[in-house]
């Protein structure tokens, strides 16, 4: 058996990158003797019309299927990381060193199972840190993804490069197997307003079996505040709660999707919202009556309008009647603020209608 053939067989059988020291020991040669053999192999594979390639990863060498053939052989290849586990791994890789409790907060309790398997595969290590652990990738991770080193900066740079290689705004997430942002119908107009194209309108609050399958294409969902626990039963990706009660809520929501949006459209949307906020505050200047908000939601709108508050003031409540605490907040209200369960307008119209209800209601009572 020749040394070149022995090295080739070792790289093929390894299934991961081998460093120069491991290779030279296999053939009982010095590093100086082995390097020309490896270079010859690299040149041979580069010149071949083959489905296999050999790569030099900076002193570590790997033999693998060429990227153009990976989809073709996927069905017969050894089991890969599941999509949910790959998403967990991607978060660790991108944000490392990452506190385990922060990862669990982002990914849910299923992250514990993912971390355990990723550790067993040698892709992740967990270093004790107080009551939690610090997570980071290992050299095996670098080998698995064909990277020259496991340096956090290099890993992050590689992920960004992979993102740029993809078309659209969610290239990184396409690389990780998910293609779209998921939004509930309420926030579809927010996506359009900010120029986001790669989104799907989904039912994530109580999905059917078919809708659960659709969630496999979603890498991040935006939901209304207060539904995190319900949604996490069905979805294991990143969940972001946003509100749409006040104009400030809309500004905050846009800030959370700004990195996915078209800058010009975001600028226009923010200018529109700030103009509306000032316009409504000006409208409310003529109101002298004081009010008593029945809920925090109403209180925030009243604060935005700069209307005086008093324990004996006009009672303003949302129109949903029974609160989550089982209290009928609408029963003694003088003015009802629409919550629009079946509202068809865009998200700005939804917010404006709340402000209009309060201003118009108070003007009628003052007359």
pLDDT at 278 over 70: yes
Structure tokens at 221: 């969902």
**Quick count: other Cβ atoms within 10 Å of Cβ 264?**
9
Structure tokens at 232: 């996490």
pLDDT > 90 in the chain, percent: 20
Supply the CATH classification number for the domain 174-266.
3.40.50.1980
- The CATH-assigned architecture of domain 83-165 is Orthogonal Bundle (1.10)
**Quick count: other Cβ atoms within 10 Å of Cβ 109?**
9
Alpha-carbon gap, residue 189 to 251, rounded angstroms:
14
Please provide residue 132's backbone torsions phi and psi, each rounded to the nearest 5 degrees.
-125, -160
Alpha-carbon gap, residue 36 to 147, rounded angstroms:
22
Q: Which DSSP state fits 264?
A: H
CATH fold match for the domains 83-165 and 174-266: no
**What number is the average pLDDT over the span 159-174?**
48
**What number is the average pLDDT over the span 325-337?**
75
Confidence at residue 251, expressed as pLDDT on a 0 to 100 scale = 92
Alpha-carbon gap, residue 195 to 264, rounded angstroms:
9
Residues 6+ apart with CB under 8 A from 272: 348
Digit-coded pLDDT (tens) for 62-106? 888 787 776 665 555 445 566 677 778 878 888 888 888 888 877
Burial of 305 (0-12, 13-18, 19+ CB in 10 A): buried
Confidence at residue 162, expressed as pLDDT on a 0 to 100 scale = 55
**What number is the average pLDDT over the span 157-170?**
52
Sheet architecture: strand order including 132-137: 98-99, 132-137, 124-129
Confidence at residue 207, expressed as pLDDT on a 0 to 100 scale = 86
Q: Please report the sign of the dihedral spanned by the C-alpha atoms of residue 243, residue 245, residue 247, residue 248.
A: negative
Q: Are 134 and 97 in contact (CB under 8 A)?
A: yes
User: Poorest-confidence range of 61-65, 102-106, 142-146, 169-173?
Assistant: 169-173
pLDDT at 273 over 90: yes
Classify domain 3-74 at the CATH class level. Answer: mainly alpha
Structure tokens at 333: 């209200």
Q: Are 115 and 132 in contact (CB under 8 A)?
A: no
Digit-coded pLDDT (tens) for 198-232? 788 888 888 887 788 777 778 788 888 888 888 88
Structure tokens at 85: 């586990």
**Quick count: other Cβ atoms within 10 Å of Cβ 120?**
9
The pLDDT mean for the chain works out to 81
Question: Nearest Cα to 240, choosing from 271, 192, 296, 199?
Answer: 199
Burial of 265 (0-12, 13-18, 19+ CB in 10 A): middle
Domain coordinates of the chain in residue numbers? Answer: 3-74, 83-165, 174-266, 285-366
Length of the chain measured in residues: 367
Digit-coded pLDDT (tens) for 7-34? 888 888 776 778 888 888 888 889 899 9
Mark 218-245 as b/e (b = at least 16 C-beta within 10 Å).
Answer: bbbbbbbeeeeeebbeebbbbbeebebb
């Amino acid at each position: 058996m020749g040394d070149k053939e022995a090295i080739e067989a070792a790289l093929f059988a390894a299934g991961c990158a081998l460093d120069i020291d491991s290779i030279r020991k296999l053939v009982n040669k010095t590093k100086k003797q082995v390097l020309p053999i490896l270079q010859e192999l690299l040149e041979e594979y580069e010149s071949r019309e083959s489905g296999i390639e050999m790569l030099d990863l900076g002193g570590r060498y790997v033999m693998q299927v060429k990227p153009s053939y990976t989809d073709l052989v996927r069905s017969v290849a050894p089991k890969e990381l599941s999509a949910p586990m790959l998403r967990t791994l991607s978060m660790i890789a991108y944000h490392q060193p990452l506190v385990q409790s922060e990862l669990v907060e982002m990914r849910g309790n299923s992250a514990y199972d993912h971390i355990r398997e990723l550790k067993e595969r040698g892709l992740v290590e967990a270093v004790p840190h107080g009551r939690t652990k610090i997570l980071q990738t290992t050299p095996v991770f670098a080998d698995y993804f064909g990277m020259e080193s496991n340096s956090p900066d290099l890993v992050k740079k590689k992920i960004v490069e992979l993102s740029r290689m993809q078309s659209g705004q969610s290239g990184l997430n396409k690389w990780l197997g998910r293609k779209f942002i998921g939004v509930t119908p309420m926030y579809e107009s927010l996506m359009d307003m900010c120029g986001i194209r790669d989104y799907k309108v989904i039912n994530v609050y109580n999905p059917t079996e078919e809708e659960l399958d659709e969630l496999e294409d979603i890498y991040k969902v935006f939901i209304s505040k207060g539904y995190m626990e319900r949604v996490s039963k069905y979805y294991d990706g990143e969940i972001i709660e946003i509100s749409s009660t006040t104009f400030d809520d809309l500004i905050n929501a846009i800030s959370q999707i700004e990195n996915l949006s078209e800058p010009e459209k975001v600028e226009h949307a923010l200018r529109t919202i700030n103009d509306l906020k000032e316009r409504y505050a000006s409208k409310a200047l003529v109101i002298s009556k004081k009010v008593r908000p029945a809920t925090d939601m109403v209180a925030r709108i009243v604060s935005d309008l700069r209307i005086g508050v008093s324990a004996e003031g006009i009672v303003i409540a949302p129109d949903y009647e029974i609160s989550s605490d089982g209290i009928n907040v609408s029963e003694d209200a003088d003015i009802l603020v629409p919550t629009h369960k079946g509202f068809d307008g865009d998200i700005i119209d939804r917010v404006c209608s709340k402000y209009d209800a309060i201003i118009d209601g108070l003007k009628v009572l003052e007359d």
